[in-house]
Amino acid sequence: LTGTSREQRAFQYLLAHAIPGDPRHILQTFDQWCYHCEHLSCVGPDKGRIVERVLLERAPLRVLELGTYCGYGTVLLAQGLPPGARLYTIEGDPRHAAVAEKVIRLAGFSEQTVELIVGPSEEVIPRLREKHGLMKANLVFMDHWKRCYLRDLRLLESHQLLAEGATILADNVLFPGAPHFLQYAKTCGKYHCKVHCASLEY
């Protein structure tokens, strides 16, 4: 009725209530909106703690996020990066990307730290090295369409974009589920797998 999307309404709420340049407060304000106003498919605080722990353990210098959506996960990842690290995030929906870009910059992250790439992941991944300068990713966070998880993991492998010892963190593999991805990761012999139990966001 308002002519604005849920994502745009959430951003307007951020503008009114969040502290610019404070990533943690941006995330907390997002959480308040999602708990009390409208549900958004963001990572959320519970699973966010798992992401933060992995970032702290791995200290990755090159991070790739598949599925920017509103920028919640992007801000979560960016605030946990070690000095000199860079985050590349891919979003297929231009409308979501437009909101995410504003959220990322509101949180205080420049294009030198976070590069948002708009386009289908299957088209962007093969161009990451040549066009965007990503040689090898130390951490990949998958939070886009679950049916694309396996295809995109194989694309990353075939284009040799995974650093030795890279970590692949994939959200919602049990529900709504990415069974083919999970089976491949467990049986192909390239990965050590661990499933983290968590509640659904919000």
- Is residue 38 flagged as an active site residue? no
Bridge partners for 35 per DSSP: none
| Among 31, 101, 152, 171, the one annotated catalytic | 171
CA 70, 62, 200, 21 dihedral sign is negative
Q: Which of 7, 31, 152, 201 is catalytic?
A: 201
In the residue annotation, 138 being an active-site residue is answered as no
| Given the residues 65, 91, 101, 146, the one annotated as active site | 146
Instruction: List the beta bridge partners of residue 139.
Output: 63, 167
Question: What are residue 90's phi and psi, to 5 degrees?
Answer: -115, 130
Q: Which residue among the candidates 65, 101, 143, 152 is catalytic per the annotation?
A: 143
Rounded CA-CA distance 136/171 in Å is 21
65 counts as catalytic: no
Distance (Å) of CA 188 to CA 114, 153, 165, 180: 32, 12, 15, 11
146 is catalytic: yes
For the question of residue 172 being annotated catalytic, the response is yes
Which residues are known catalytic residues? Answer: 143, 146, 171-172, 201
